[in-house]
Amino acid sequence: MSLPADYHMHTPLCRHAAGEPVEYAKHAAALGLDEIGFSDHSPMRQDDFDNWRMNISQLDEYVENVRKARKDFPQLTIRLALEVDYLPGHEDWIRELAARHPWDYFIGSVHYVSDSWDIDNPAKLSEWNHRDAFEVWSAYFERLTLAAESGLFEIIGHADLPKKFGHRPTRAPACAGSSGAAGCTPLYEKFLAAVQKSGCAIELNTAGLRKDCREIYPSREILQLAFQKNVPITFGSDAHAPGEVGMNFAEAVQLAHSVGYAECRRFVQRKQRSVKF
């Protein structure tokens, strides 16, 4: 039995995080974690795609920074990973990225529901005013399902990100007992069936607790459905500062235990194993 590894951490190369990898590692060691993984925002084929990720030319530097943390904290297992944006049509680029370095895992995340709207971007918050929440959730889960089906990822990131600012569907038929996203259960079912088929994991991401939604990603409803389908899990703080490493893990562990989980997944060189937590 050990504390779950924190598999979702960023670095300043993405331009919206603070603290060098060694500082994240120091914080993890102080918390008693035995394993962490850096998964900074992957570069796009075009550097000007947006302003919240490293450029392609910085990828080697990123890998070097993670290796330096490994050297400075030999008592800690430090995995090398990326949080990769999934957009339909980007599959070849993602394969190219995969071939560049000896990654331990890729987290596949959907932030973009179109080429121009990253739904979690605070600078584009007003976009939600022109959209129907159910349509956004549907478009998001459609892409997330494609991400799972692609076979490009070991982990699917923050599976119900559209709740970040509190935008939840209300118009579709109510699904009693859920934590609010009315009518979304079929979207979850379809997504999780794809996850199950591809054999990847989903993450419990505690960053949601620090956002307006005040809830771990994904919701208890999604996690319960995932457990029923034997979908494996990982844990991540989505830390954008050293002090966020391992944040609210006790709560995440409790949530996972309460729906029945006793094991989580770890990765080395894109190979999986299960450990108790």
Binding site residues, Zn ion, CB under 5 A: 109
* Residues β-bridged to residue 266: 273
H or E element that contains 228: helix 220-228
Write out the two tokens for 253. 């562990």
* C-beta separation of 35 from 5 below 8 A: yes
Write out the two tokens for 65. 């920074």
Distance CA(174)–CA(170), nearest Å, equals 7
Q: How far is the CB of 217 from Zn ion (least distance, A)?
A: 9
Q: How far is the CB of 207 from Zn ion (least distance, A)?
A: 8
Q: How far is the CB of 204 from Zn ion (least distance, A)?
A: 14
User: Smaller CB distance to Zn ion: residue 155 or 181?
Assistant: 155
User: Residue of minimal CB distance from Zn ion?
Assistant: 109
User: Smaller CB distance to Zn ion: residue 132 or 142?
Assistant: 142
User: Smaller CB distance to Zn ion: residue 37 or 182?
Assistant: 37
User: Smaller CB distance to Zn ion: residue 90 or 172?
Assistant: 90
Numbers of helices and strands, H then E, in the chain:
7, 8
Task: Please tell me whether residue 15 adopts helix, strand or coil conformation.
Answer: coil
Q: How far is the CB of 109 from Zn ion (least distance, A)?
A: 4
Q: How far is the CB of 146 from Zn ion (least distance, A)?
A: 17
Write out the two tokens for 13. 């190369």
User: Smaller CB distance to Zn ion: residue 109 or 145?
Assistant: 109
DSSP character at residue 207: G
Task: Please tell me whether residue 80 adopts helix, strand or coil conformation.
Answer: strand
DSSP character at residue 190: H
User: Smaller CB distance to Zn ion: residue 157 or 246?
Assistant: 157
| Closest-CA residue to 87 (of 38, 39, 130, 139) | 139
Q: How far is the CB of 214 from Zn ion (least distance, A)?
A: 18
